[in-house]
Amino acid sequence: MASEIIARLPEKYEAALKSQDLYFFTSTLHKHADLNVEFEIRLCPALQKKPITPEPVHLNHDPFSPPYIPNLHIGDLRVDETNEEYVALLNKYSVVPQHFLIATKDFQSQTSPLTPSDLVVIYRLLVAARRAGKNFFAFYNCGEYSGASQPHKHVQFFPLDIDSVAPIEQLAKRTSLETPEKPFTLNPLPYANHVRRLPSDMSFYDYDQLEATLSQAFLQLLDLTVSTIRHDTTYPARKLSYNAWITLEHLHLIPRRFEEYPLRQGEKISINSLGFAGTLLVKSESQLELVKNEGIGKILRGVGLESVHEEQVQGTAAEAMDEVSSTPANSISQL
């Protein structure tokens, strides 16, 4: 169960750290205001000396398949309604304590979309963490340009202080909506982003309600993501990439065009879902200054796509009008 995974986290983390099965890299957090958002930049010089440990042959270079390193293996999860199975593992290279992930038991590709079962498991873990006095958001890097580090499908859970939220989530929370069940965009951001607010009582839903609500929200945003990509005539065919991240209140999808952003002086910075949640990771003081000077908004726009939200909204409205005009008058009141 999700609550058991969350309950085991502290003990498993300490054991993995003590045994050196897990590497913790100390970082310093720097705040940087841009686009009326207080972004976070984590400076972690130790990542320049990240240890390279050869994987045993029997792992087939897939750290998310058995046999698992015992101290990194938090436990297993099974969705009784669908029989889908997952493994929960600690992130071997951590810059924040208790950063963990879930992966599909059977190999599935990191280029595949999140399934209804994936979404339910993610949300149940977030709820279990909150009930245990912990605070996480989940993220999924999908596709070649998303910043994904492994081909085996996995979703990561990033810890926050109990009373804090990710920087971009603050922007989403401040957004007033006339129709909460419809997708929206965060207009202050210079790149395409698609957001859906989740029902406030969703933690009390049963499986069928959770599956229906989360699946509908995800498919709405995925449709908008695909539509955004189709507006870019230079986007490579069959290379769909996006970042998805999930809190208890919102689901975010961001279409991606490039995996790295070229900074000046020949340096590049890789961006994954964490960057679009408002947290970037740099490895040196010089890279920190380059990021600040370049501007985080410019960097995120550089690896994302141009927003076509207004065109999408107008297109949806036009489709609705077409539907109304082709509907018998006595049926219009039911639309």
Q: Which residues are catalytic?
A: 154
Closest by alpha carbon to 187, among 39, 34, 315, 310?
Answer: 310
Beta bridge partners of 37: 34
Instruction: Please identify which residue in the block is written with the tokens 């957001």.
Output: 195
**Structure-block tokens of residue 1:** 């169960």
Distance CA 160, CA 78 (A): 26
Beta bridge partner(s), residue 28: 43
110: which 2 tokens? 């990191």
- Strands 23-24 and 84-90, by their bridges, are unpaired
- Whether residue 188 contacts residue 278, with contact meaning beta carbons closer than 8 Å, is answered with no
By DSSP bridging, strand 37-43 and strand 279-282 are parallel
Query: How far is Cα 327 from Cα 322, in angstroms, rounded to an integer?
Result: 9
Return d(Cα 65, Cα 60) in angstroms, integer.
Answer: 9
Instruction: Tokens for 333, please give them.
Output: 């009141």
Alpha helices in the chain (DSSP H): 2-19, 116-131, 167-173, 207-230, 273-277, 285-294, 296-303, 309-325
- Please list, in sequence order, all residues whose beta carbon lies within 8 angstroms of the beta carbon of residue 36, skipping any fewer than 6 positions away: 171, 188
Report the half-sphere exposure of 18 (CA within 13 A, side-chain side).
8
Report, in angstroms and rounded to the nearest whole number, the Rg of the chain calculated over CA atoms.
Answer: 21
